[in-house]
Amino acid sequence: MGEMRVESDKLWGAQTQRSLENFDIGRGYEQMPKEIIKAFGILKKAAARANAKLCSERMTEEKLEAICAACDEVIDGKLYDQFPLVVFQTGSGTQTNMNANEVIARRGNELSEKKLLHPNDDVNMSQSSNDTFPTAMHISALMEIKERLLPALDALIDSFKTLEEKYPDIIKSGRTHLQDATPIRFDQEVSGWRSSLEYDKDMIERALDELRYLALGGTAVGTGINAPEAFGIIVAEEISELTGERFFSSSNKFHALTSKSEIVFAHGALRALAADLMKIANDIRWMASGPRNGLFEIFIPENEPGSSIMPGKVNPTQCEAVTMVALQVMANGTAIDMAAASGNFELNVFMPVCIYNFLQSVRLLADAMTSFNKNCVSGIRPNCERMKEGFERSLMLVTALSPHIGYDNAAKTAKVAYTEGLSIKEACISLGFLDEETFDKVFIPEDMV
């Protein structure tokens, strides 16, 4: 295809330069994620070690040492500026794979002080872009969830546990359909939030098991052409050793190259977390609404002025940030689902945009939970007086009378209490359904929780 001029201080070569010039789409803000580049450093090092075991005549000790040294710099992030390519390139991620091959070969040669490594023959030995990119997807997705998202989720769960334990005996009005319902304890309400997040964590962890199966060894179309027979198994073992996580060779490489179902499944669990976070954040901002014309059942931290025109106004901004992140994650899921559904024959060619959206979801969820926890949840306090007032005024306390006066009479009692501004007790006695002594005996709202 002719010569390509590459600046002499760059480690990349002709294929990277062609991509750089041919795909000027979102440069500077839609770069290939750092997590993918790190995953390529891991898999290239693992592949070299596997090749040294299986093809020692080609992957000599000297070449292995040079590749591993260069890969360590990639893994440590020292060479990220040598990975300039954008997400919106070839849908197989071929150009990013070649970017990695070229940078590792050039840097390995610099460290060896000789022209020792060839990008394709040595760094890409026994591999294809078609099996390396999906492998990098699984490695980066699993590692980011384990190292970034789950710790943030655990911390948020712990904050809700603390809130539960700190306020165990406060009774308030429950709500269904945004209308008054039977009583509930505040700690019971918080336990619903906490338990939802625990279920989400369990689903995410189960989804991680599917990401442990890798495409490496399938090469171009899944047949494993130009790779030793045991390469997939050994390279998965090497990746496991390098990451400290269990990875396995996919049993069907034809599936591993063309299907992105594992990514869809794992992101589905992230969407479940996003949905619960949105619900929880909405509950909290409703309960904090006011302070005079809202529910005002809880106090949340006052972090910054809420208005440029209304002095003294404070808004539930952390809740708003969480709900915006939740919407973005749900939108990312749509992109991922469509990308996974759009592969053809032996390859999916929407892989870069698929993993870009996945990793963005992980980062946003982790960061949002950390911020939400630090700047809102950890500072929540119940407004006990407001909760007590709402509990005592709730017409749905009449539910406690249904076993004693029947559903229809209980409904009449609630209606009279509402229209005439009476208490449940006053309405029930005035209608002749119970005398005062019997009412006091059977009507114990605290027992309703």
103 phi/psi in degrees, rounded to 5: -65, -45
Distance CA 376, CA 347 (A): 45
Q: Within 10 Å of residue 126's Cβ, how many Cβ atoms?
A: 24
Q: Using CB atoms within 10 A of its CB, is residue 221 exposed (0-12), middle (13-18) or buried (19+)? A: middle
- Give yes or no for a contact between 104 and 122, defined as CB atoms under 8 angstroms apart: no
**Cα–Cα distances in Å, from 443 out to 266, 387, 398, 429, 446?**
49, 19, 8, 12, 9
Report, as residue numbers or ranges, the catalytic residues. 177, 307
Nearest of 126, 122, 1 to residue 71 by alpha carbon: 122
Give the bridge partners for 340, in sequence order.
none
Q: Using CB atoms within 10 A of its CB, is residue 441 exposed (0-12), middle (13-18) or buried (19+)? A: exposed
- Among all chains, which residue has been given the structure tokens 């000789």? 114
